[in-house]
């Protein structure tokens, strides 16, 4: 509740969104391995998926969840039909190796430590790490500046110039969100579902 109030007071655009749609609630798995694999396999974290590629693959393999121990079942029963690229397979292999070699207490790490640790796995980039921080670990001040859909929303809602230093413009807007950036991002990403209603009430 406090986060909503802070954002509504700091940002008139977000206030209109907050007044228009329900607060976006994320039911996190809190499982970094599971969610990381969903990003690699689907090119989207499963919380935001509309195609359900990852979920369908799990169902095909008969797996209620995915762990390093049962990954071989997914690999045998579902991955061949997905026709993933070689780099994706290589990234998944590195993730498996990482989990077999190390035990990480993810909740105990700072955001910077999470970034450094995940970035050590070749093939895991900034966007994927942001998704893990935002959805899986539910850190409060995540701003995934590389996210395609977030860029779209902010260009449209804040009148940003998409052809000139867009990330700098986005960061300038996000400065007013303080430590509530994650909630602001979730509102902006949820806004599309109510875009027509919002447009009628937004000058």
pLDDT 10s digits, 139-170: 999 999 999 999 999 999 999 999 999 999 99
Domain that holds residue 95: 32-136
CA 176 to CA 7: how far, in whole Å?
Answer: 8
Q: Which of 113, 136, 159 is the last residue of a domain?
A: 136
Same domain? 132 vs 36: yes
Q: Is 60 exceeded by the pLDDT of residue 190? A: yes
Give me the number of domains the chain comprises: 2
Asked whether residue 30 carries a pLDDT value surpassing 70, the answer given is yes
pLDDT at 192: 72
Is the pLDDT at 202 greater than 70? The verdict is no
* CATH number of the domain residue 165 falls in: 1.10.1670
Secondary structure of the chain as H, E, C letters: CHHHHHHHHHCHHHHHHHHHCCCCCCCCCCCHHHHHHHHHHHCCCHHHCCCCHHHHHHHHHCCCCCCCCCHHHHHHHCHHHHCCCHHHHHHHHHHHHHHHHCCCCHHHCCHHHHHHHHHCCCCCCHHHHHHHHHHHCCCCCCCCCCCHHHHHHHHHHHCCCCCCCHHHHHHHHHHHHHHHHHHHHHHHHHHHHHHHHHHHHCC
The number of CA neighbours under 13 Å toward the Cβ of 141 is 9
């Amino acid at each position: 509740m406090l986060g909503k109030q802070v954002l509504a007071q700091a940002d008139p655009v977000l206030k209109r969104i907050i007044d228009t749609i329900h607060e976006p609630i994320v039911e996190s798995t809190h499982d970094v391995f599971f969610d990381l694999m969903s990003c690699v396999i689907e090119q989207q974290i499963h919380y935001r998926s509309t195609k359900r590629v990852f979920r369908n693959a799990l169902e095909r393999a008969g797996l209620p969840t995915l762990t390093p121990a049962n990954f071989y079942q997914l690999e045998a029963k579902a991955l061949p039909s997905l026709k993933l690229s070689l780099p994706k397979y290589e990234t998944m292999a590195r993730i498996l190796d990482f989990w077999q070699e190390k035990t990480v207490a993810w909740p105990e790490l700072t955001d910077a430590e999470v970034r450094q640790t995940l970035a050590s796995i070749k093939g895991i980039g900034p966007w994927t790490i942001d998704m893990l921080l935002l959805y899986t670990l539910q850190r409060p001040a995540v701003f995934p500046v590389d996210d395609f859909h977030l860029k779209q929303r902010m260009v449209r809602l804040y009148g940003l110039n998409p052809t000139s230093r867009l990330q700098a413009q986005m960061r300038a807007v996000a400065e007013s969100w303080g430590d509530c950036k994650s909630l602001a991002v979730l509102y902006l990403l949820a806004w599309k579902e109510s875009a027509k209603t919002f447009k009628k009430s937004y000058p």
